[in-house]
Structure 1
Amino acid sequence: MPPQMLKKCRTASHRPAVKRRRFRHDEVTAVDLFSGFGGLTKGLKEAGVTTIMAANHDDYKVAVHEANHPEAERWIADLVDPEAADYHSARDLPPADFLAAGVSCVNHSQANTIKAYEQGAALFELDDPDYEARVTRSERDRATANCVLHYAAQHHPRLILVECTTELTSWGPAIPGSRKIGDGSTYRWWLKQFDLLNYDQALYGHYRGKSALAALLLRFDLATGGIEVVDAGSPTLWRIRGSTTERVELDRQLPLGMFEDTVYAMQRLRLLPGDRSVFVACDPGEPRSAGDGEAGDGPVARALAQARHLSCADAPRAVVRALREASPGAPESVLVVCLDWHGPETGRPGAATPGDGGPLPPPGTP
């Protein structure tokens, strides 16, 4: 039998605390992911935080951690690969006030810098015959960062600390011409997921997909007119600019709480001074066009255009009245929210200068 077949099959194993911990109602607790020898656990202890659970895949490191911190419980398990025999999900670790995670950085750190200098080359120009295999290991390293998302989605700790090298920020597809440097898009996606955890994962955790929420999530920058938006099966978004009324086409995504671990993409829009944004939701649906070549969303566009000269406070009432009287297919209920942006507030710290509208969004955004 080949030697590799003789390797003992691993399974995830739990180790209770060697030393009994004294529980207090007012103590701050922590879970340490990828705990290694216990450096982060020691720092937490010195800050007055009690680590109740540590997790790592390496038996030897767990043994050292146990010697250094006998009051903590431990899991020896693969937290990344669900197909591994010793897999244990970060979601199944106990809840705590504080999550500490030493995200793996071995294969995408600057550890090869000395070798690069010896060859007179920059780090990312270094000839690396094992590059493809190293990329695979590097992506697995970065995947440990998703375990932080899994734990946060399940338990919503009050504070999260992630320790890693700066190369984590280049997580993403390679930049053309520099195949060893990522564009950071996946890293930015990872950060954005924390904004959504309080909504999507909380809903799924409660209803387990049996009920979902159609929503439009927005973040306005009143200084620049910039908007970040996630369309999760939302009401429609309209923009009135001067005499033009138009529907803003968004990337329609799944309602919140429908499935576990749904990935949502953020879009960026930009308002100009004087723009009006209107959000329209109709149940069971928007009124249908009466025909005669009118667009399918014609009744909504017509109602908005007729109300554009009204104030932001009066326009929604006029739009609701017009849609309720629409025929055919008048909706049973209508919700209209109106927002006018008049430009940056002059004199406010951080406000954009008059007329510039702040920084432009990436090319290709409306």
Structure 2
Amino acid sequence: MTTAIDLFAGLGGWSTGARAAGVRVLWAANHWPEAVKWHAANHTDTEHVCQDLHQAKWEQVPKHDLLLASPCCQGHSKARGKKAGNPQHDSSRSTAWAVVSALEFHQPEAGVIENVQEFMEWALYPAWLAAVQALGYQVAPHIVDCADLGVPQHRVRLFLVLTRSKAPLMLELHKRQHVPAASFLDFDAGRWSPIEKPGRAQATLDRVRNGRQRFGERFIMPYYGKGSGTTGRDINRPIGTITTLDRWALVDGDRMRMLSADEALAAQSFPADTLRPDNHRLTMHMAGNAVPPLAGQRVIEALLAAA
């Protein structure tokens, strides 16, 4: 059986996808105790470490065939902006170097790195790429909308496939039929409130009105930000990108509510029996940062098929 380790494991999108692809995840690490707690609850046969991977002792990490990693993307993502000289963003970007350290020590046969596509615009990306290549890996970038892999969510992400091959290995990622948001939305659950109530922002009311004109009585809309504009989205298509904060609102006639944590996890393609915090905010944070398990599974399956 193919074995793997999961760096920056979070709630376990990579690990869950790997398990579904028939890969055994031997070891997983994250710096946030809460994430490690819930990853461990869902992956009881995986060894867990809570640490800053800049200080990782790679000799204590089991030998593996496949390295999976999702370095912190906040320093690259346009969603949060990139202010020059922001120490927090600099620190976030530097997490990618832990991947190089792990590759250097264990030299697995392959690796897959997930991030936002702006990762390749990082000023140090050429140096990072050169370091990976110096270790004997070819690097094949794949920019993928996870909806094309069967995830009920439009989520464009970069998957860097690292292989010890003569040329970069471009995977055959077959485009699946899009799965609608309606597949996971529950209009009989959740905490609804009247749309017309004191204090409701005019911008929200405008979004509702515009959404009704296009989609009728039931639709999804961004509750804040520019998002998909002010007209919302049809529930018969995938939802927009799940973020770490409450972003999407459901409208049903004269009532509305925010997306629930369980719906956010389903939009990310986590199994229904995934264990998670009772705290809504914590779950949303973990869900928004995760690799969609189904996307991870499809990428790993394509990699194993090509190997």
Structure ranking higher in helix proportion: 2
TM-score normalised by structure 2 residue count: 0.42
Structure showing greater Rg:
1
TM-score normalised by structure 1 residue count: 0.36
The one of the two structures with greater contact order (alpha-carbon pairs below 8 A, sep at least 6) is 2
